[in-house]
């Protein structure tokens, strides 16, 4: 976890109060999020469930500083995000957040290792040499020089997880990270996310697959741009023991 940024004890924490986000102009405004309150403790693995269009991606994008909220208070890793402009949000994101997307989003003209190194360079965080180590951690040491098109979907997503970890983020955000993968391959990705959480990192994952919620400390259910329920689970399951 980051030792240099964010007040101690708040690394990886998330606090939303009456957070709203609309898209479109005043007359035709669509509420993507409406008056959302949410607390996530450092070190939790949180799974977000909800139907398509319920605001899950918007929630992740606001917490990760990809977009700004219109109203309410948003504090992530001890930093107040509410009034920040796009440049300040980018600085926040590079210091605190790792993102994993449904469709991997690797740069096609860079090798697996270069896809990770470029983030170390761009953010000034994470030694370039660590890219090879992270690739080995996700079981892809021998694929370092392969381009994304030469890798399976599951392998590309493992590169994406390694890329998200190169900056040593406080908070790992994953938006349907297994949505484009078959079950066995998806399980491998979930194992990496759970391992990262067990190493102390806060993980917030959106999924369509309610069975995956078994691995969470807390399950957030969304509906129509709001949080419908938050359920604590005292004994989250090992990915390996979840049948689906
Ligand atoms: P989910 O991830 O749960 O499917 P989203 O957060 O993507 O939901 O979307 C929530 C709502 O906001 C939906 O009604 C969606 O159509 C709308 N929305 C999301 N992004 C945009 C955008 N860039 N422009 C306009 N409407 C958007
Ligand atoms: Mg979505």
> pLDDT tens across 1-28, in order?
444 444 456 789 999 999 999 998 878 8
8-241 placed in CATH 3.40.50.1820: no
Question: Do 94 and 123 meet the contact criterion of CB atoms below 8 Å apart?
Answer: yes
Compute the distance from residue 57 Cα to the ligand 1 centre, in Å.
Answer: 7
Find the residues whose C-beta lies inside 6 A of ligand 1.
23-24, 30, 32, 50, 52-58
| pLDDT, tens digit (0-9, with 9 covering 90-100), for 159-187 | 999 999 999 999 999 999 999 999 989 99
What tokens were used for 33? 């999020």
- Domain segments of the chain as ranges: 8-241
Compute the distance from residue 175 Cα to the ligand 2 centre, in Å.
Answer: 7
Question: Do 169 and 98 meet the contact criterion of CB atoms below 8 Å apart?
Answer: yes
Question: Do 159 and 116 meet the contact criterion of CB atoms below 8 Å apart?
Answer: yes
Compute the distance from residue 55 Cα to the ligand 1 centre, in Å.
Answer: 6
Contacts of 217 (CB under 8 A, 6+ apart): 44, 45, 46, 232, 233, 236
**Which residue CA neighbors atom 1 of ligand 1 most closely?**
53
Return the ligand number nearest the Cα of 59.
1
Interval 79-99 mean pLDDT: 92
Residue 180: how many CB atoms within 10 A of its CB?
16
**Which residue CA neighbors atom 16 of ligand 1 most closely?**
53
* pTM recorded for the entire structure: 0.93
Question: Do 62 and 69 meet the contact criterion of CB atoms below 8 Å apart?
Answer: yes
């Amino acid at each position: 976890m980051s030792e240099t940024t964010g007040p101690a004890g708040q690394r990886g924490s998330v606090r939303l109060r009456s957070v709203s986000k609309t898209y479109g102009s005043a007359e035709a405004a669509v509420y993507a999020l409406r008056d959302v309150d949410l607390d996530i403790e450092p070190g939790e693995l949180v799974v977000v469930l909800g139907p398509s269009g319920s605001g899950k991606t918007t929630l992740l994008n606001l917490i990760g500083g990809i977009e700004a909220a219109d109203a309410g208070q948003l504090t992530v890793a001890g930093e107040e995000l509410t009034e920040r402009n796009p440049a300040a949000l980018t600085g926040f994101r590079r210091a605190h957040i790792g993102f994993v997307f449904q469709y991997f989003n690797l740069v096609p003209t860079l090798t697996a290792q270069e896809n990770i190194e470029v983030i170390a360079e761009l953010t000034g965080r994470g030694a370039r040499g660590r890219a090879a180590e992270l690739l080995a951690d996700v079981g892809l040491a021998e694929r370092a020089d392969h381009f994304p098109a030469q890798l399976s979907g599951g392998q590309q997503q493992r590169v994406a997880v390694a890329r998200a970890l190169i900056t040593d983020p406080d908070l790992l955000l994953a938006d349907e990270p297994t949505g484009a993968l078959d079950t066995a391959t998806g399980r491998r990705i979930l194992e990496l996310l759970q391992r990262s959480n067990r190493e102390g990192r806060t993980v917030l994952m959106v999924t369509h697959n309610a069975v995956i919620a078994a691995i969470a400390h807390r399950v957030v259910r969304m509906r129509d741009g709001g949080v419908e329920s938050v359920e604590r689970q005292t004994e989250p399951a090992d990915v390996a023991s979840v049948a689906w």
